[in-house]
Amino acid sequence: MSARYSDLKNKKVFISGGGSGIGATIVEYFCEQNSDVYFIDINLKESKKLLTKIKKKKIKAPKFIECDITDINKLQKTIEDIIKKKGPINCLINNAANDDRHTTDQVNEKYWENRMAINLKHYFFAAQSVVKGMKKIKSGSIVNLSSVSWMLGEGDKVVYETAKSAVIGLTRSFAQEFGKFNIRTNSVIPGSIATERQIKHWLTPKYKKLILDSQALKRQLKPSDVAQLVLFLASDQSSGCTKQSFVVDGGIT
């Protein structure tokens, strides 16, 4: 159970990539706050599984909309439809990403464009869509998910790391431009988080030992560690926080 933020009750929250991993936990945690949650994903199986889980918990159900984040027209129309029917979005959580490993030699122009579309481009256009409504109500919180991989320079996913470093610049620019409208923009930078995807593909016993040896905290971080911070940054409890990057990595950087 996360902390309770009374101001998040009935707030409209839009989350990309909310069907699995960190995103799914963020969706669940906002539902626990009685927020009006809208999330998009292309993974129907995982999204439906999340909806079933939330229904069993008997908390406020989210609205799932199938949407490919690389289809900017559909993404923006999805957001615009919500705003037309329900009013301005109060909180935007730009979460969707893909951290498939790759070397420099494996990257061609098509792959570069696709990775940038998945890990950076939609952040900008989702924000562009919600900010119009936020300006009218003179409030709003945008939270952009980055990654410590670019800070560490891990070298096994160069395009992903490039995009995730750019998220920080995007955040700071948005914060400065929209601050006069009382719209806050912050980044959350997760470290090694034990999602199902990470466990399945990369979190081997050897790699886990390497992570724990490098972290100040000697435990594996979970999606809840990230989701709890996202809630705080969406809430009025963080009303003085903007243009900042908050690292959740157990002290690995």
Alpha helices, H only, 33-71: 44-57
What b/e sequence results for 97-108 when a residue is b if at least 16 CB atoms lie within 10 Å of its CB, and e otherwise?
A: bebeeeeeeeee
Work out whether the CA dihedral 104, 105, 109, 111 comes out positive or negative: negative
End-to-end CA distance of the chain: 28
Helix (H, G, I), strand (E, B) or coil at 56: helix
Helix (H, G, I), strand (E, B) or coil at 172: helix
206: burial class by Cβ within 10 Å (0-12, 13-18, 19+)?
Answer: exposed
Which residues 6+ apart lie within 8 Å of 222 measured at CB? 193, 194
Q: Would you please indicate which residues are annotated as catalytic (active-site) residues?
A: 160
Please give the distance of CA 48 from its chain centroid, rounded to a whole number.
19
Instruction: State the Cα–Cα distance between residues 110 and 114, nearest whole angstrom.
Output: 6
Instruction: State the Cα–Cα distance between residues 226 and 246, nearest whole angstrom.
Output: 10
**Which residues on adjacent β-strands are paired with residue 252?**
none
